[in-house]
Amino acid sequence: MKKKFLDLGLQPLANSFLTTRKKKEFKYNLSICFDTKTFLVSLIKSVNPKKQYTEFYAHRASESKTAREAFKNVAFNLQKRFNPKLSMEIGSNDGVFIRNFKKNKIISVEPCLNLAKITKKLGFTTYPDFWDMKISKKISKKHGKLDLIYSANTISHIPDLDETFLATNNILSEKGVLVIEDPSLLEVIKNNTYDQFYDEHVYVFSAIAISKITEKHNLELFDINYSSVHGGSMRYFICKKGAFYKKTLRLKKQIKEEYRKKMDKLSTYLKFASRVKKSKYDLIKLLKKLKKQKKKIISYGATYKSTTIFNYCKLGRYIDYVVDTTKNKQGKFTPGQHLKIIKPELGFNDSVDYAYLGAWNFKDEIVKKEKNFIKRGGKFITHTPKVKII
């Protein structure tokens, strides 16, 4: 049974960066629930993917040095460990992962046409489709079974998990492995990173939930890996039930830890919701205080996650503008709060006193890059794990 535990209010689509402040926006209610039977944490009502993943999709994974290095490492490790003859990525974005493979060794599926064009131009076989049984059968017929399927920050975006895993089982070879990487629910609870909830994140997974949903489709979770990317992600290794992969000790430890942290109990999520409300109160209180002191506050990073924070806390009245390195976001306005997005070279100048970390998951990269800001007395603000000035 699904039980609502958190309401983050009326929200715009996280990727709907505007060309003008006057444009009307589609909005939806961002409410989160816990399923007492499957232990899945999800949006109560998901948004139609065709509204989200269009030819105007803004995110470019390869524009972050941290992301490029992380995907390069995981590509190398997966090829070394499983030695796949043919691999596939579901949700290839601009090719940040598949670029680490030989072009005849990997294919990709990417529903955003502007992104699919990028990888096609690079010479990779790319299917501009949503992942479902129809495209699974089409690829299987043309390419045969796959030894490795990788998907980072995509499976959690697909509303129909049943079809997702049915389609995967259909195309996996007998010893094939599905590796999915998504934000870790345990880390979200631990660090109070409630901005991991937005329209694209239909689910935020735990290992116990992944174990249950894969079992339902004759698949089996056999290993797990922690990744620091996106503020703490989990990499889940899944095979067909009965394949020769044995459950690892680290998976057993993770599942034991999640039960110890009571991630199978509604009470855990109700306590989390209380901390979220306090975080909102503390952040607004801090920003109000700084504004009274005539301090200039901007945001560093027009991230999808920051859309949740900006709109839940109504930060448009405290933040002057946002700086972001992503070229196709620059010159536009943030969803909902309509803050102007400009180049860091233009906006991150000596007039700035405080910078809210919209891209808190890249904190180390940002702090290293902006040493001069800190040297002259500039400070960063974060809400995770609690509201504080860095």
Residue-wise pLDDT tens for the chain (390 aa)? 999 999 999 999 998 999 998 778 999 999 999 999 999 999 999 998 888 888 877 777 877 787 889 899 999 999 999 999 999 999 999 999 999 999 999 999 999 999 999 999 999 999 999 999 999 999 999 999 999 999 999 999 999 999 999 999 999 999 999 999 999 999 999 999 999 999 999 999 999 999 999 999 999 999 999 988 777 899 999 999 988 899 999 999 999 999 999 999 999 999 999 999 999 999 999 999 999 999 999 999 999 999 999 999 999 999 999 999 888 899 999 999 999 999 998 999 899 999 999 999 888 888 888 888 999 999 999 999 999 998
> Cβ(300)–Cβ(348) under 8 Å?
yes
CATH class of domain segment(s) 2-32+267-389: alpha beta
pLDDT in the model for residue 273 = 98
> Cβ(130)–Cβ(49) under 8 Å?
yes
- Per the listing, tokens 């589609």 go with 26
Residues of the chain with CATH 3.40.50.720: 2-32+267-389
Residues of the chain with CATH 3.40.50.150: 40-263
pLDDT in the model for residue 263 = 97
pLDDT in the model for residue 67 = 82
**Tokens coding 295:** 């301090």
**Tokens coding 261:** 């942290």
375-378: list long-range contacts, CB under 8 Å, 24+ apart: 376/350, 378/352, 378/353, 378/354
* d(C-alpha 59, C-alpha 115), whole Å: 9
Q: Specify the fold of 40-263.
A: Rossmann fold (3.40.50)
| Bridge partners (DSSP) listed for residue 11 | 28
pLDDT in the model for residue 53 = 83
Burial class of residue 49, CB neighbours in 10 A (0-12, 13-18, 19+)? middle
pLDDT in the model for residue 382 = 96
289 C-beta neighbours (distance < 10 Å), count:
10
Please state the pTM of the whole predicted model.
0.91
Torsion of CA 304, 302, 117, 73, to 10 degrees: -80
